[in-house]
């Protein structure tokens, strides 16, 4: 024990003083460091990484690889990927690293073109559905009354309709389906869920203190809608969009795999359909249906991780302290 002076007051120097005189050491237990925020959720990051990688294949692939090979049937048929031998004892070549299929289209080119296609259909469908949903949900919540009743009934009914089944029927009736048509059709079933969500949030926000304050400040209805309520809807819109996009992508892939996707443009699901209808399973051309399937599996896992990650961010109780 020693004595020191603080100001002109003698103070017994004890361990206590020494402890408090030292600055707090940063907690380096690997749990939380200065860079950690809720947004750096491991699941979210992993999911985004996977999806980004898949999209990168599409973006960079276009520049590096000859995408015509996905359309024209000029390559040798039924070649296996590099390092493998097919049933006819042909070896894979680096000219077609992932092999070719039975009409001479290059697998790698198919992936490069097909992956983004499936993805974009889902994203566009979700965007259209969200726009409709936001507009309707906002109107229903803010204006209320009969308009609210009508919108609510229509959206509640639409939600119960099994989307995939109806889409199958519709698309099988149409001879030719474009990517954009498919996106529109999927959007038809994507709007009710955002409508309900936005409506519920608008109903709550309409009664909030800050809306009352805005009225007291003489703000017009318009100003209240767009300046006060809309900005607070963005987190919900974002979360809803992620969920909707995931669902739309899955629906699109489902339709493609059933052969109901666009025929002129290669898609992942479409490739699988072609493979199965050409009996690739029997002919042991595993690369034809296998590689797109694996890629699809990664896509689904990535989307799932993104959704789970967002759930954890939005609901702190789900966050594990081991993160």
Partner 1 sequence: MEHTSERLPVLKVRDLKVYYETPRGDVLAVDGITFDLYQGETLGLVGESGCGKSTAAMGILQLVNPPGRIAGGQVILDGQNLLGMSDEALRHVRWAKLALIPQGAMNSLNPTMRVRDQIRDVIVAHQRKQSGRNVQTRIFELLTMVGLPSRVYDLFPHELSGGMKQRVCIAMAIALNPMVIIADESTSALDVVVQRVVAQTMLKVKQALGVSMIMIGHDMGLMAQMVDRIAVMYAGKIVEIAPVREFFAAPKHPYSQLLIESVPSLKERKPLKITEGITHDPRNPPPGCIFQLRCPFVMDKCRVVAPPVQEVTPGQLVACHLYENSGDGSLIDVRDAARNS
Partner 2 sequence: MSEMLLEIRNASKIYKQRAAGGTREVVALQDFNLSIPKNPASIITIAGESGSGKTTLAQVILGFTRLTSGQILFDGQDVSTSDAKQMKDYRRQVQAVFQDPFGVYNPFYRVQHVFDTVINNFRLSTSRAKSREFIEDALNVVGLYGDDVLRKYPHQLSGGQRQRIMMARAYMIKPKLIVADEPVSMVDASLRASILDVMMRLKQESGISFLYITHDLSTAYQIGDQIYILYQGSVAEKGSTIKVIDEPRHPYVQLLVDSVPVPDPDIKWEGEIVLPPEEEMRSSVHSGCRFYPRCPHRMDRCLEAQPPLYKIDAVDHQAACYLYDQNEVAAKAVYSS
For the record, the structure tokens of 131 come out as 């726009």
Q: For partner 2, which is the closer residue by CB, 208 or 284? A: 208
- Does 217 bind partner 2 (CB under 8 A)? Our answer is yes
Give the dihedral of Cα atoms 202, 246, 66, 182; nearest 10 deg: -80
Residue 284 phi/psi, 5-degree rounding, is 60, 35
Residue 228 makes CB contacts below 8 A (sequence gap 6+) with 205, 210, 211, 214, 219
Closest CA to 165 of 255, 248, 270: 255
Contact of 220 with 109, CB cutoff 8 Å: no
**Which residue ranges make up the site for partner 1 (CB under 8 A)?**
6-9, 11, 16-17, 20-21, 24, 27, 31-32, 34, 36-38, 316-317, 319, 321
Least distance to partner 1, CB of residue 16, Å: 6
232 binds, among partner 1, partner 2, none (CB under 5 to 8 A by kind): partner 2
Type and span of the H or E element at 10: strand 9-13
User: What's the CA gap between 30 and 33, in Å, rounded?
Assistant: 7
Binder among 101, 228, 256, 274 for partner 2 (CB under 8 A) = 228
Closest CA to 278 of 112, 103, 113: 103
Least distance to partner 2, CB of residue 229, Å: 9
Least distance to partner 2, CB of residue 215, Å: 7
**How many C-beta neighbours within 10 Å does residue 268 have?**
28
For the record, the structure tokens of 141 come out as 């919540």
- Does 23 bind partner 2 (CB under 8 A)? Our answer is no
- Does 29 bind partner 2 (CB under 8 A)? Our answer is no
Least distance to partner 2, CB of residue 42, Å: 26
Q: For partner 2, which is the closer residue by CB, 225 or 272? A: 225
Least distance to partner 1, CB of residue 215, Å: 27
- Does 293 bind partner 2 (CB under 8 A)? Our answer is no
Radius of gyration of the chain (CA): 28
228 binds, among partner 1, partner 2, none (CB under 5 to 8 A by kind): partner 2
34 binds, among partner 2, partner 1, none (CB under 5 to 8 A by kind): partner 1
- Does 264 bind partner 2 (CB under 8 A)? Our answer is no
Q: For partner 2, which is the closer residue by CB, 227 or 319? A: 227
What burial letters (b/e) apply to 51-72, b meaning 16+ CB within 10 Å? Answer: beebbebbeebeeebebebbee
Q: Which of positions 151-210 make contact with partner 2 (CB under 8 A)?
A: 208-210
Least distance to partner 1, CB of residue 318, Å: 10
For the record, the structure tokens of 69 come out as 């090979």
CA distances from 147 to 128, 199, 221, 284 (A): 21, 12, 17, 58
Least distance to partner 1, CB of residue 136, Å: 32
Q: For partner 2, which is the closer residue by CB, 6 or 216? A: 216
7 binds, among partner 2, partner 1, none (CB under 5 to 8 A by kind): partner 1
Q: Which residues bind partner 2 (CB under 8 A)?
A: 208-210, 212-219, 227-228, 231-232
């Amino acid at each position: 024990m020693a004595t020191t002076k603080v100001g002109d007051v003698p103070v017994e120097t004890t361990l206590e003083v020494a402890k408090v005189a030292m600055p707090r050491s940063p907690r380096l237990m690997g749990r939380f460091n200065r860079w950690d925020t809720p947004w750096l959720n491991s699941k979210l990051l992993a999911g985004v990484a996977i999806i980004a990688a898949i999209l990168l294949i599409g973006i960079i692939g276009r520049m590096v690889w000859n995408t015509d090979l996905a359309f024209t049937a000029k390559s040798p048929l039924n070649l296996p990927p590099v390092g493998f031998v097919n049933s006819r004892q042909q070896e894979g070549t680096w000219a077609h690293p992932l092999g070719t299929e039975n009409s001479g289209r290059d697998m790698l080119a198919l992936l490069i073109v097909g992956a983004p296609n499936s993805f974009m259909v889902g994203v566009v469908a979700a965007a259209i559905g969200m726009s409709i949903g936001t507009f309707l949900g906002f109107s229903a919540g803010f204006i209320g009354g009969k308009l609210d009743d009508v919108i609510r009934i229509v959206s509640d009914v639409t939600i119960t309709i099994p989307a995939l089944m109806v889409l199958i029927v519709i698309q099988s009736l149409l001879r030719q389906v474009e990517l954009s048509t498919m996106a529109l059709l999927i959007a038809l079933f994507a709007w009710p869920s955002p409508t309900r969500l936005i409506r519920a949030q608008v109903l709550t926000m309409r009664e909030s203190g800050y809306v009352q304050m805005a009225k007291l400040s003489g703000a017009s209805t318009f100003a209240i809608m767009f300046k006060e309520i809309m900005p607070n809807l963005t987190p919900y819109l974002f979360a809803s969009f992620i969920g909707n996009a995931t669902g739309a992508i899955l629906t699109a892939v489902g339709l493609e795999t059933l052969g109901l996707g666009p025929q002129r443009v290669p898609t992942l699901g479409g490739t699988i359909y072609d493979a199965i209808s050409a009996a690739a399973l029997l002919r042991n051309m595993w690369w034809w249906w296998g590689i797109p399937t694996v890629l699809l599996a990664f896509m689904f896992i990535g989307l799932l991780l993104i959704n789970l990650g967002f759930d954890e961010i939005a609901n702190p109780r789900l966050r594990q302290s081991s993160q």
